[in-house]
């Protein structure tokens, strides 16, 4: 058997011999504004985790991420479950998630931040986190089974084979729930966000598995907020703006770092540097993020990227007098779950008025109910 060798997380050789082997770029989805309702579509929850294709060949298991990197060493407990519960020879597309069960309201929900902490260079830390923050695996497609390659089959056939092959799995391995009913899908879209999910994935009936292609559809929540720009980071290419550091005030008047906005063209990055120049002046030690208010749990910028361990996250403070409107999809606790999109400056807004109270908070929902395919989450025919 050929052993796995990696350099910088990339495969040079593989330890499995299946009809399809790593690295494989998973099939992707393109964003649409409205939920499609064409005949024959299948809807499933969009899990907010790490995309992962699990390859098992006997005693060999590899966990492949989107982007052609291996995650096998970071999730030993998932490897163990794959050996226990997945077919002896298979390639299964799915998502790694971490469920937080000790939240302030006691409601189990996805926690992307805990999942992100699992990517750590130290083996001792990897082992500890596998015990304290174990990951679940949610399967949603079957690429190969035994010596049979399934990528050319239509999605409904692959789904049927997936359900059959994984019929006996138990948590922390799951098969994602699906529906062909648009009304049930709309209800899922509304309520599953409260469990930490990310929206919906929509799959056409005749869809083969097309690695790397955006052949599916995704529908995500869209919101806007007015936030304070209290700093920025330089771009890796040179002296232009890389990202804006965003903040919101809590009820006690503490400014918390909630995330960043960073998707700018090269020309716009230069313009932003000029627009921010006045706010770089007269920034003193009293800036709310220079030292931080640890007693009140203030979130401030900083830290080292867990993905690279070397990414420069140093930042430049700005006078917190500038307000920007941003588009975002969801919050994870008191921070943005994903990068926000710049919409426009709001010179008419008082920065002190930019608080958490403006945010739309979804009703909490139990993620275990989602994983079980609980009937309470399904629209029933009143007839």
Q: What is the pLDDT of residue 286?
A: 83
141 and 233 both lie in a single domain: no
pLDDT tens digits, residue range 20-37? 999 899 999 999 989 999
Q: What is the pLDDT of residue 150?
A: 98
169 and 227 both lie in a single domain: no
229 and 103 both lie in a single domain: no
CATH number at residue 266: 2.40.50.140
Q: Name the band, by pLDDT with cuts 50, 70 and 90, for residue 142.
A: very high
Q: What is the pLDDT of residue 313?
A: 55
CB 129 within 8 A of CB 83: no
C-alpha span between 4 and 79 (Å, rounded): 14
Strand partners, 233: 243
241 and 166 both lie in a single domain: no
97 located within any domain: yes
194 located within any domain: no
pLDDT tens digits, residue range 87-118? 999 999 999 999 998 866 678 989 988 998 99
* Top-confidence residue, 297 or 288: 288
| CA 34 from centroid of its chain's CA atoms | 21
Mean pLDDT of 257-286: 92
pLDDT tens digits, residue range 216-231? 999 988 889 999 999 9
Span of 77-81, 206-210, 377-381 with lowest mean pLDDT: 377-381
215 located within any domain: no
Q: Name the band, by pLDDT with cuts 50, 70 and 90, for residue 12.
A: very low
What percentage of the chain exceeds 90 in pLDDT?
67
Q: Which domain holds residue 297?
A: 223-358
Burial class from Cβ neighbours inside 10 Å (0-12, 13-18, 19+) for residue 114 reads middle
Cα dihedral value 159, 165, 169, 173, nearest 10: -60
265 and 326 both lie in a single domain: yes
Q: In this model, does residue 158 exceed pLDDT 90?
A: yes
Q: In this model, does residue 80 exceed pLDDT 70?
A: yes
Q: What is the pLDDT of residue 306?
A: 44
Q: Kindly list the catalytic residues.
A: 46
pLDDT tens digits, residue range 29-66? 999 989 999 999 999 999 989 999 999 999 999 999 98
Q: Name the band, by pLDDT with cuts 50, 70 and 90, for residue 382.
A: very low
CB-based contacts of 134, cutoff 8 Å, min separation 6: 77, 98, 172
pLDDT tens digits, residue range 174-229? 999 999 999 999 999 989 988 888 899 999 999 999 999 999 999 988 889 999 99
CB-based contacts of 167, cutoff 8 Å, min separation 6: none
Number of structural domains the chain divides into: 2
255 and 330 both lie in a single domain: yes
Q: What is the pLDDT of residue 230?
A: 95
* Top-confidence residue, 103 or 353: 353
């Amino acid at each position: 058997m050929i052993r796995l060798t990696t350099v910088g997380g990339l495969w040079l050789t593989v330890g499995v011999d299946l009809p399809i082997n790593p690295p494989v770029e998973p099939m992707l989805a393109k964003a649409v504004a409205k939920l499609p309702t064409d005949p024959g579509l299948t809807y499933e929850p969009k899990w907010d985790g790490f995309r992962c294709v699990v390859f098992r060949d006997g005693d060999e298991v590899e966990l492949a991420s989107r982007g052609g990197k291996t995650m096998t060493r970071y999730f030993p407990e998932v490897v163990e479950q794959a050996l226990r519960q997945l077919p002896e020879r298979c390639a299964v597309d799915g998502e790694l998630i971490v469920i937080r069960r000790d939240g302030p309201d006691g409601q189990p929900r996805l926690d992307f931040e805990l999942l992100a902490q699992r990517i750590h260079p130290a083996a001792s830390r990897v082992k500890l986190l596998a015990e304290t923050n174990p990951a679940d695996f949610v399967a949603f497609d079957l690429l190969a089974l035994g010596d049979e390659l399934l990528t050319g089959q239509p999605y409904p056939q692959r789904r049927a084979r997936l359900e059959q092959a994984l019929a006996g799995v138990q948590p922390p391995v799951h098969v994602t729930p699906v529906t062909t009913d648009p009304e049930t899908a709309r209800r899922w879209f509304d309520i599953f966000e409260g469990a930490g999910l990310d929206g919906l994935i929509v799959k056409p009936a005749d869809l083969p598995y097309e690695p790397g292609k955006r052949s599916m559809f995704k529908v995500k929540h869209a919101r806007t907020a007015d936030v304070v720009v209290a700093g920025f980071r330089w771009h890796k290419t040179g002296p232009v703006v890389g990202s804006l550091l965003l903040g919101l005030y809590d009820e006690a008047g503490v400014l918390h770092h909630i995330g960043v906005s960073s998707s700018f063209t090269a020309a716009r990055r230069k313009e932003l540097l000029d627009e921010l120049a006045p706010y770089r002046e007269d920034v003193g030690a009293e800036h709310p993020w220079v030292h931080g208010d640890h007693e009140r749990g203030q979130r401030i910028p900083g830290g080292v990227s867990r993905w690279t361990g070397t990414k420069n996250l140093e930042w430049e403070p700005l006078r917190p007098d500038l307000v920007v409107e941003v588009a975002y999809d969801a919050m994870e606790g008191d921070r943005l779950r994903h990068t926000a999109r710049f919409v426009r400056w709001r010179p008419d807004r008082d920065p002190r008025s930019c608080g958490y109270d403006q945010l739309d908070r979804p009703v909490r929902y139990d993620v275990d109910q989602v994983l079980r395919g609980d009937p309470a989450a399904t629209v029933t025919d009143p007839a």
